[in-house]
Amino acid sequence: MTSMREQAGRAAERVLSSKRVLVVTHIDADGICAAALASSLLDRAKIKHEVTFLKKLDSAAIETIKTQKPETVWFTDFGSGAIPELSGLNAVIADHHVPAPSNPSAAARRDLVALAEALDGSDIPHVNPHLEGRDGGTDLSGAGATYLIGKEMTKSSAELAHIAVVGAVGDLQDREGGLAGTNRAILEEARKAGVIEVVKDISFFGRETRPLHKFLQYASEPRLPGISGDEDACIRFLIDAGVRLKEGESWRRWIDLSRGERASLSSRLKGLLEDNGIKAELEREVYVLPRETPGTPVHEAKEFATMLNSCGRYGKGDVALRIAKGDRRESYYAGLDLQDGHRRNLVDFLQVVRDIGVQRRGLLQYFNADDMIAETVLGTVAGMALNSGLADCGIPIFAFARADDGVKVSARGTRLLVEKGLDLSELMRLASEKVGGKGGGHRVAAGATIPPGTEEAFLGAAEVILKKQMGG
């Protein structure tokens, strides 16, 4: 085993002794935060650099990088799965994905440590929680791994620690009651530096920017019986609670409510859950960025990450990078527009699901959007369908759409289903392999790409696996 600190020290040395660095990162919120950290650190060290965003790091992408003959390449949020292919490059890696071979089963985790030890022989400085026997899904994000290198590059790294928190939250690493492990240590550094505040608040998404009734309408985890998914019911609920919906012309948001209004709404919501026999926490840890303006998406980690994702999904990694690095002018306004566009797209795509309908098939349900939903937001749409009452939230949902390299499949479940045994990561990996595709992800949310025409066979395989997981 190798310590992350030791690897980070080697990585920092290699980066700091370079005149020019190519940062290559994954185009999701975590990857964008990782690149923002790397770029800010390189700025401080006055090292020239460029940033390249990729959807995935495959052999073709690695070949392209090699033809550019870069002096030093800093891979963030991927790279661990491709170490054998990186030979010849003067590289460093900050990642948290499972080291190659890609996507082994959970049972192979112990072998992974052995594998990690073997990879140790590579001369590439490589920061990854798996190499310390930690869980890359919850212990540390790609941004966090980059931050660990930053700590070895400069004494003032804590000033940037909030970006590592946003990256971790963007990868849903706070899903089990808050950030833990190495993430927790980074969170503590961020708190001490005054760049993050940890508060207990309602668990729904959009406390900063969503109008109150929308905030409740899209509530999931926990779902609000009779309210989630029903805009009119949300408005009635708020009026019954004596909460004004508007302040002048503007919709009020959770953050606009007085302490008393929040307490009264929370207790009504708790009552609603109790009346329906639902035992669920209404509150979670929320990570606030106190140096940002309240009521903006960059004031809270989850909304911040979502904003970065909305840019990334539309190929605007450069815009997202500048926002993550602190631009609150041009790129920030472009980001707000992209986010608005993303929200409008989601509404349109949900209408597509309504139009084509969700088909039930045994223990699962699915829809095939073909070319009517962009594959980059298919998972988000499937999740919203599940949580908005459009689909049955008692069984997992599978969504298909056309992609460049085959048929994209996204699967979404709920926390309750996971507690009952659902593991969509395993299911997507196995079912896609069965039909000649590839997939993986998390228990509650996973994706795959399969060859066109294999949808039926894929669903058949998924059903068999699902039966096993759910004990039927």
Give every CB contact of residue 296 below 8 A, 6+ residues apart in sequence.
208, 209
SS3 content of the chain, % helix, strand, coil (to 5): 50, 15, 35
CB of 32 to Zn ion, least distance (A): 10
Answer yes or no whether residue 73 interacts with ligand C5P by CB under 6 A.
no
Residue 77 interacting with Zn ion (CB under 5 A) = yes
Q: Which two tokens stand for residue 54?
A: 């990729």
Span near Zn ion by CB under 5 A; candidates 141-149, 290-298, 367-375, 423-431: 141-149
Among 226-234, 268-276, 414-422, 439-447, the segment contacting ligand C5P (CB under 6 A) = 439-447
Among the candidate windows 270-278, 326-334, 353-361, 433-441, which touches ligand C5P by CB under 6 A?
433-441
d(C-alpha 186, C-alpha 167), whole Å: 12
Using CB under 5 A as the binding rule, whether residue 441 contacts Zn ion is answered as no
142 sits near Zn ion (criterion: CB under 5 A): yes
Q: 222: which strand partners?
A: none
The nearest distance, CB 438 to ligand C5P, in angstroms, is 5
Residues of span 13-32 touching Zn ion by CB under 5 A: 30
Task: Please choose, out of 5-13, 105-113, 434-442, 452-460, the segment that lies near ligand C5P by the rule CB under 6 A.
Answer: 434-442
Alpha helices (runs of H) in 325-377, residue ranges in sequence order? 330-356
233: three-class secondary structure by DSSP: helix
Among residues 238 and 307, whose Cβ is nearest to Zn ion? 307
Q: Which of 136, 379, 396, 413 binds ligand C5P (CB under 6 A)?
A: 379
Q: Which is nearer to ligand C5P, 384 or 448 (CB)?
A: 448
Q: Residue 142 binds which entry of ligand C5P, Zn ion, none, with Cβ cut-offs from 5 to 8 Å by kind?
A: Zn ion
CA 72 to chain centre: 28
- For the bound state, the minimum distance from the C-beta of residue 417 to ligand C5P, rounded and expressed in Å, comes to 15
Of the candidate spans 1-9, 127-135, 141-149, 436-444, the one that interacts with ligand C5P by CB under 6 A turns out to be 436-444
Taking the least distance from each CB to Zn ion, the nearer of 77 and 375 is 77
Beta bridge partners of 91: 73
Q: What is the DSSP string of 301-334?
A: HHHHHHHHHHHHTTT-HHHHHHHHTT--SHHHHH
B/e letters for 413-432, b = 16+ CB within 10 Å, e = fewer, are bbbbbbeeebbbbbbbbbbb
55 binds ligand C5P (CB under 6 A): no
Which of 335/441 has CB closer to ligand C5P? 441
Which amino acid does the sequence have at 107? A
- Distance separating alpha carbons of residues 79 and 100, to the nearest angstrom: 9
Taking CB within 5 to 8 Å according to partner kind, which of ligand C5P, Zn ion, none is near residue 445?
A: ligand C5P
CB atoms within 10 A of CB 318: 15
- CA distance linking residue 335 with residue 331, whole number of Å: 6
Residues of this chain that bind ligand C5P (CB under 6 A): 379, 410, 438-442, 445-449
Residues of this chain that bind Zn ion (CB under 5 A): 30, 77, 142, 171
